[in-house]
Structure 1
Amino acid sequence: MGISISDELLGTFAPIVVYWVYSGIYVLLGYFENYRLHSKKDEDEKNLVSKGTVVKGVLLQQIVQAIVAILLFTVTGDEVGAVDGPRSSLFVLARQFITAMLVLDTWQYFMHRYMHHNKFLYKHIHSQHHRLVVPYAFGALYNHPLEGLLLDTIGGALSFLLSGMSPRASIFFFSFATIKTVDDHCGLWLPGNLFHTFFQNNTAYHDVHHQLYGNKYNFSQPFFIMWDRILGTYMPYSLEKRAAGGFEARPTRDYKDD
């Protein structure tokens, strides 16, 4: 007799497992300098926080996310169960996923941008994430606990609720969103990466934001760049080969330090 795992349990813990497995793959690939946006030496020397501290910070955020997910599934169990019936066609799932992506992007853009422009919030909260001057995969969710709650956990809860997806659909959506945000922070420009093909909001795009010159630009995450385009915070860049191997994302126009 097999062990049955509920959709709610999978929806809570699958994204966490995906985060560490996918990050681990990128850690191994990071030893190939020809794929890196920054050298391994820069990763070790320029970042202002140890990898051990990053791991502990991410685990804390994931514990909070798991608690909120369990509470959310418990409270909404009766309502969301209905979408697992005959109406759960591919069209319905696609609509739910697109809605969730737009909700998450909108929430994170405005919260993220506000944390940069509010000096108190940046200094005491958001600057923790920017201790990673050279981003790497498992640092994607390294944030101040309050930021993790506001941006990621509440943003995820809103996208789940407003899209009307079921716990089963959420397994796939949040696992996909996790893979995407890990990819955005991995610091690698890999040939054949489908995220780079289908999303302008990609590893190089977000790397620009982590540099001093891009600190007030490219706020969008994790899927689209529409709000940066609409509100004038988009920084165009070109991808240039570094003499020592790998690539570098360089801005293609002057910027102003607001």
Structure 2
Amino acid sequence: MGLIAPVIVYWLYAGVHHMLPPLEKYRLHTKKEFAAKDVVPLPTVIRGVLIQQLIQVITLASLTYLFDRSMLTTYRVVVQPSIPVQICQFIVAMLVLDAWQYFVHRHMHTNKFLYKHIHSQHHTLEVPYACGALYAHPLESLIDTFGGVVCFLVSGMTARTGLYFSSITSMKAIDLHSGLWLPPGFGPFQLIFGNNSAYHDIHHYGLRGRKYNYAQPFFIFWDKLLGTHMPYTVVERPKGGYEVRLLK
């Protein structure tokens, strides 16, 4: 379940976004912008995400087999820690994952070879949308998978707590790439974390923004500490929808 549940959660949560009635009045980009910027067909994006998820499952299953084979052959009762302990583990895992993602992500941009041959695949979706959140080069997915393993080990989570964390992380990635600016109460992640769809949209849309807002998926303090934070405001478009405007 720890391997499969995040995949199921990803497609269910992304599917909800795609099956909702038209939400043009909440979108950060117009249909014209979407048609002009996103040239990758949807079936290609779906196939790319499935390949990435397959790599993640195979990698994690292989690591389990190599380093803790007893998990596959022996029935063991694992006592879940208390809720306060699990909350602390969540916080540690979020901080570790944010550090991993920020520095790997920033290096993927500053290293021209890595950007051209690996990370640029993710940026072909210049106007992001829900099911394309994990669309990336297979090598990048492998690097992200190892980041998840580091979070699991450093935080000391049980497999069950890790299942919860990885599922929420999948949902958070979709939220960042949804392209929707929902009203308060309808976008739970926007109320909890500063890293939201508008913040990450700056990084995706336009060449200028790609030098900023590397932080993901939870907090934004790495950008602020290291000078890669781009301030912004979200304003309503006259004909419906929203627009992210840079303040710098």
Q: Which TM-score band (shorter chain)? A: over 0.9
Separation of aligned partners in 2, 1:85 and 1:213 = 49
> Is 1:218 equivalent to 2:213 in the alignment?
yes
Percentage of matched positions with identical amino acids:
54
Give the TM-score, by structure 1 length: 0.89
Separation of aligned partners in 2, 1:30 and 1:162 = 41
| 1:84 positional shift | 3.6
Residue-by-residue CA offset, 1:158-182 (whole Å, 9 max, x unaligned):
1111111111111110000000001
Separation of aligned partners in 1, 2:92 and 2:78 = 17
> Is 1:183 equivalent to 2:175 in the alignment?
yes
Match of 1:60 among 48, 51, 56: 51
Separation of aligned partners in 1, 2:21 and 2:100 = 31
1:201 aligns to what?
195
Residue-by-residue CA offset, 1:179-236 (whole Å, 9 max, x unaligned):
0001110000112212111111011000010022211000000000111010010000
Match of 1:73 among 36, 60, 64: 64
| 1:247 positional shift | 0.5
Match of 1:149 among 133, 138, 142: 142
Alignment gaps of 5+ in structure 2:
none
| 1:30 positional shift | 6.8
Alignment gaps of 5+ in structure 1:
1-9, 254-258
| 1:85 positional shift | 2.5
Separation of aligned partners in 2, 1:233 and 1:71 = 36
Separation of aligned partners in 2, 1:241 and 1:30 = 20
Residues 241, 77 of structure 1: CA spacing in aligned structure 2 closer, same or farther, 3 A cutoff? farther
1:98 aligns to what?
91
For 2:223, give the aligned amino acid: D
Q: CA RMSD in A?
A: 1.8
For 2:148, give the aligned amino acid: G
SS of 1:41 mapped into structure 2: helix
> Is 1:42 equivalent to 2:37 in the alignment?
no
Matches within 5 A, 1:59-138: 59-74=50-65, 75-76=67-68, 84-85=78-79, 88-138=81-131
| 1:82 positional shift | 9.1
Q: Which moved more, 1:233-242 or 1:63-72?
A: 63-72
Residue-by-residue CA offset, 1:82-130 (whole Å, 9 max, x unaligned):
99436x0112111111111111110110000001001111111111100
1:172 aligns to what?
164
Separation of aligned partners in 1, 2:76 and 2:247 = 50
Separation of aligned partners in 1, 2:21 and 2:33 = 12
- 4+ aligned runs moved over 6 Å, structure 1: none
Give the TM-score, by structure 2 length: 0.92
